[in-house]
DNA sequence: GATCAATAAATTGTCGACAATTAATTTGTT
DNA sequence: AACAAATTAATTGTCGACAATTTATTGATC
């Protein structure tokens, strides 16, 4: 399991983190996604440089890449802030996700080889088992679900698509999911949907796989939307 | 006309170029798109820094953003190269474009207000006139066509979609078009397709607008593919 | 007491220099 | 002469300091 996770989850860089700016990027991505750097908070370059014990040069390079994946917003000569989560943002993000992951499914049905499909099935079996063992533990579901989506995206074999989804959009997706959580009946239903998607891919039915993935993502969006509305009401 | 072009084409930054890294980015984008920095050539940081009379700091920042829009490819501790154009790359790029601009059309049919649609019609009229006047002059068609696409993308009102298409993908699209050209009967046919797309948007038929845009882009891809094959044969 | 202008503090953008890594050249061996 | 290893050169990554811009504070005026 752990090797699998490493395979897919360490690849935001597409390589091992060799440079100090690479490590900074990974660390800050994690910190923002998990809310350690709170949404909406200002980022002070001197402060963070001290905190991570590096100079501002690699920090700024990491920040440029954080901006690329929509985790921070910069204004020239003014500074950078961690993004805020909002219903509008979620909807705009998931609109793109539906489209691109639908495409990824269609391409995966064409381009994944039998071995890759077999591995995808094996992954789902693992999920079913670990779900039984760790009922209600949300992190594994979180990671497992994303791992599933990652593999299909990689299976599309389209480098631009892979880059856009895995390197740019997915951190924000994770941020919504980690900070707003996924729970309740949605978790087990997601497994069934995953299964149906694999079947469509395995039978090389790209059109169906596309449709099922779009519905899967739409359902997931609905789930998070509810959470966001609840949080919104608390603050009123 | 010129004001219109400025409006849409200067906005890769989403703002005026205030910083020295901003200006560098614009200049290098132009140089790469137009082939002044040849495809596949290595980029030497010290050399370019001298050429543009700046230090390496803003140059590296500009390069990070060039990487983001797929105009250069970097390898840590090794260097950066200008991307090469290829049929595989074109197909992968246009696969995404079809999907995302199709979505943009659908959203534009929902979200553009009457005034924006009216402006879009006016733009097309301008194109028809300038096409008559400057028959065969490819640059105006080039810019006009992209301007048309830009407006629809902006009309989608989805910030992530706008960012991905206008700030990331479109420079590469332009690079293919500028370096491989668009000409022949395709030019006038494209105008008709534009007209049909506007009509669909104006009648709020998002589904049709989506379909027409996908076909329009697929046709455009076919045109460039032919050129690429011709160039490929020359080098054999 | 509130509003605006001027000043002071802090932050961002840029620079030149050094360290670490990679590529090129030279040298020695088979 | 061809290949391999070692040395040299060049390039990239990082650092600390300075300049330019923005934000915060202070003081003056109504």
Separation of alpha carbons A25 and B112, rounded Å: 37
Tell me which DSSP letter residue A222 carries. H
| pLDDT (0 to 100) of residue A129 | 78
- What is d(CA B48, CA B72) in angstroms, rounded to the nearest whole number? 14
**Which range, of A6-10, A217-221, B55-59, B134-138, averages the lowest pLDDT?**
A6-10
**Residue, of B124 and B215, whose pLDDT is higher:** B215
Residue range B129-140: mean pLDDT, rounded: 61
Strands (E) in chain A, as ranges, are 42-43, 72-75, 79-82
Phi and psi angles of residue A188, each rounded to the nearest 5 degrees, phi first: -70, -30
Nearest CA-CA partner of A163 in B169, B144, B188: B169
The two beta strands, B79-82 and B42-43, are antiparallel
Cβ within 8 Å, pair B92-A161 = yes
CB–CB contact A18 B107 (8 Å):
no
For the record, the structure tokens of B197 come out as 């797309």
Residue B42: partners with Cβ closer than 8 Å, 6 or more residues away: B79, B80, B81
pLDDT tens for each residue of B19-34? 999 999 999 999 999 9
Interface test with chain B among A68, A153, A217, by most B beta carbons within 10 Å: A68
- Euclidean distance between CA atoms A12 and A23, whole angstroms: 11
Q: End-to-end alpha-carbon separation of chain A, Å? A: 43
Please name the residue ranges forming H helices in B53-169.
56-68, 87-111, 114-133, 138-155, 159-162
Alpha-carbon dihedral of residues A103, A106, A107, A112, nearest 10 degrees?
140
Read off the pTM.
Answer: 0.90
Longest Cα separation, chain A = 55
Say what percent of chain A tops pLDDT 70.
Answer: 86
Contact of A76 with B18, CB cutoff 8 Å: yes
Q: Do B60 and A65 touch (CB under 8 A)?
A: no
**Does pLDDT of B67 surpass 90?**
yes
Q: Does B100 touch chain A (CB under 8 A)?
A: yes
Cα distance between residue A155 and residue A200, in whole Å: 14
* Spatial distance between the Cα atoms of A230 and A224, rounded to a whole number of angstroms: 10
- At A66 the pLDDT is 95
B68 touches A at CB < 8 Å:
yes
Instruction: Calculate the angstrom distance between C1' of D27 and CA of A78.
Output: 26
Q: What is the pLDDT of residues B157-205, one digit of tens each?
A: 999 999 999 999 999 999 999 898 766 667 778 888 999 999 999 999 9
Distance between CA atoms of residues A99 and B1, nearest Å: 34
Going by DSSP bridges, is the β-strand pair B42-43/A72-75 parallel, antiparallel, or unpaired?
unpaired
pLDDT at A126: 85
- Distance between CA atoms of residues A195 and A131, nearest Å: 14
Separation in Å, CA of A141 to nearest CA in chain B: 27
All residue ranges of chain A with pLDDT < 70 are 1-14, 131-141, 182-185, 232-236
Residue position matching structure tokens 């994690």:
A30
3-state secondary structure of A186: helix
Q: What is the pLDDT of residues B92-109, one digit of tens each?
A: 999 999 999 999 999 999
Provide the pLDDT for residue A75: 92
**Considering chain B, what is the average pLDDT of its residues?**
87
Taking the C1' atom of every nucleotide in all shown strands and the CA of A59, the nearest one is: D14
B231 vs A: CB within 8 A: no
């Amino acid at each position: 399991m752990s090797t699998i996770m490493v395979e897919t989850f360490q690849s935001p860089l597409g390589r091992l983190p060799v440079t100090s700016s690479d490590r900074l990027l990974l660390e800050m991505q994690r910190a923002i996604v998990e809310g350690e750097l709170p949404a909406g908070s200002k980022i002070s370059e001197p402060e963070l440089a001290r905190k991570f014990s590096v100079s501002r040069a690699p920090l700024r390079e990491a920040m440029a890449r954080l901006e690329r994946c929509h985790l921070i917003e910069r204004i020239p000569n003014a500074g950078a802030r961690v993004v805020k989560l909002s219903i509008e943002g979620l909807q705009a993000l998931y609109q793109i996700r539906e489209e691109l992951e639908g495409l990824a499914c269609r391409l995966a049905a064409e381009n994944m080889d039998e071995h890759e499909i077999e591995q995808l099935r094996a992954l789902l079996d693992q999920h079913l088992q670990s779900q039984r063992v760790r009922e209600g533990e949300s992190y594994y579901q979180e990671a497992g679900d994303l791992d599933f989506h990652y593999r299909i995206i990689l299976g599309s074999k389209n480098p631009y698509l892979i880059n856009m989804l895995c390197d740019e959009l997915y951190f924000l997706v994770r941020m919504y999911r980690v900070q707003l959580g996924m729970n309740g009946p949605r978790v087990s239903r997601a497994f069934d949907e995953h299964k149906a998607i694999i079947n469509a891919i395995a039978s090389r039915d790209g059109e169906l796989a596309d449709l099922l993935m779009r519905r899967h993502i739409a359902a997931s969006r609905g789930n998070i939307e509810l959470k966001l509305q609840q949080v919104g009401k608390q603050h009123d």
